[in-house]
Amino acid sequence: MGERALIFEDVPADGSSPAGGTISVWTLNRPDKLNALNTQSHQEIKEQCARVESDDNVRCIVIRGAPPPEPEEGKRPKPPAFAAGADISEFAGKDSDDVRPFFEDNAWEAVWNLSKPTIAMVDGFALGGGTELALSCDIRIASDRSTFGQPEINLGLIPGGGGTQRLCRLIGYGRTMEIVLSGGMVSADDALKMGIVNKIVPADELESVTMGLAQDIASKSPFTTKVAKRAVRAALDLPFSEGVLMERSEFVALFDTEDKEIGVNAFLSRSDAEWVGR
Ligand code: COA
């Protein structure tokens, strides 16, 4: 295999509790192709998902795109990108039997199914599968020069990485229809107004803001964090009354954990909680 399509680095989470926690930072690494997601990208993302799921030290995952390379002599610079979609060069000449196995076991679902918190750190184009990868994360922080969209309709396609469903649940029916049917670009400002992203910041602050949030998340009990993610996620699938019951049952069960006692006593004694993760 040639160069990696995904670079990963586990950076120490300062103040992680239990100590030794890390934030796993994944960089989509095909900047010449605006980090378009090809088969190799999917494979490597899936491998990383399996790895962080079984590594107790990893408390939070941040996904980003590699910055544009230095422009070649006489050529125009490439724009910054999170990911400009699935790699369209892999679509030509394929029929449904060719693509079905790939789409049935893809990186978007692998990221979505992680039990740990995930943050998309978006700087530049996040189109098609790039928007969908960001939507597979729990939280999206974007630079103010970012652009989102689902342009698949322009290729005679529709989103295939969960975009119609996750976007609709995130921002509602009408806005999703506009984005999917028009295939148009959505500016960072509009993405913020619609609720596609949690926050937009100047590009030079993107990393510090995103990593600050990741550090904050990594400072909580990793056990409770997973329960919280599971409970919020259930709101997408369950009828409201069942969801409230499910939340109550998760809440009550937390009273049998050591971390609940640690957290409550830390508050009462005005000290920092030192979680044990159970
Ligand atoms: N798949 C494969 N290659 C892609 C790609 C994709 N989704 N998006 C960009 N690239 C490649 C381009 O082919 C080009 O490669 P080259 O330099 O070897 O020719 C390189 O990335 C730079 O892209 P380019 O189109 O030259 O940049 P631009 O600044 O003119 O335009 C975009 C940027 C994002 C508007 C444009 O690249 C684009 O529309 N990309 C496709 C977006 C899309 O439809 N995504 C959904 C796919 S399902």
CATH code, domain with 135: 3.90.226.10
132 C-beta closer than 6 A to ligand 1: no
Pair 166, 32 in one domain: yes
Active-site pick, 47, 70, 104, 152: 152
Pair 112, 231 in one domain: no
34 C-beta closer than 6 A to ligand 1: yes
Q: How many angstroms separate the CA atoms of 121 and 256, rounded?
A: 35
Q: How far is the CA of 84 from the centre of ligand 1 (A)?
A: 6
73 labelled catalytic: no
Among 18-22, 60-64, 125-129, 254-258, the minimum mean pLDDT is found in 18-22
Quick check: 49 and 113 in contact, CB under 8 A?
yes
Q: How far is the CA of 206 from the centre of ligand 1 (A)?
A: 23
Quick check: 29 and 7 in contact, CB under 8 A?
yes
In a domain, residue 30? The reply is yes
Q: What is the 3-class SS of 199-234, one letter each residue?
A: EEECHHHHHHHHHHHHHHHHCCCHHHHHHHHHHHHH
The fraction of the chain above a pLDDT of 90, given in percent, is 95
Three-state DSSP class for 65?
strand
CA dihedral (85, 87, 89, 91) in degrees, to 10, reads: -90
In a domain, residue 80? The reply is yes
Q: How far is the CA of 34 from the centre of ligand 1 (A)?
A: 6
Pair 154, 171 in one domain: yes
152 C-beta closer than 6 A to ligand 1: yes
87 C-beta closer than 6 A to ligand 1: yes
Q: pTM of this prediction?
A: 0.97
Pair 140, 253 in one domain: no
Pair 65, 174 in one domain: yes
In a domain, residue 58? The reply is yes
Pair 250, 124 in one domain: no
Domains held by the chain: number: 2
Question: Domain end: 194, 218, 242, which one?
Answer: 218
Q: How far is the CA of 122 from the centre of ligand 1 (A)?
A: 16
Quick check: 59 and 10 in contact, CB under 8 A?
no
Residue pLDDT, tens place only, 77-131: 999 999 999 999 999 999 999 999 989 999 999 999 999 999 999 999 999 999 9
In a domain, residue 273? The reply is no
Active-site pick, 132, 178, 207, 261: 132
132 labelled catalytic: yes
Pair 179, 249 in one domain: no
Pair 45, 107 in one domain: yes
Pair 31, 164 in one domain: yes
128 C-beta closer than 6 A to ligand 1: yes
In a domain, residue 96? The reply is yes
Q: How far is the CA of 184 from the centre of ligand 1 (A)?
A: 15
Domain that holds residue 59: 6-218
> What are the tokens at 167?
């976007």
151 C-beta closer than 6 A to ligand 1: yes
Residue pLDDT, tens place only, 3-20: 899 999 999 998 888 999
Pair 129, 245 in one domain: no
DSSP run (H or E) holding 61: strand 58-65
In a domain, residue 1? The reply is no
User: Which positions ≥6 away from 8 have C-beta within 8 Å?
Assistant: 24, 25, 26, 27, 48
Residue pLDDT, tens place only, 150-177: 999 999 999 999 999 999 999 999 999 9
Pair 19, 69 in one domain: yes
In a domain, residue 248? The reply is yes
> What are the tokens at 42?
């999917």
Pair 95, 158 in one domain: yes
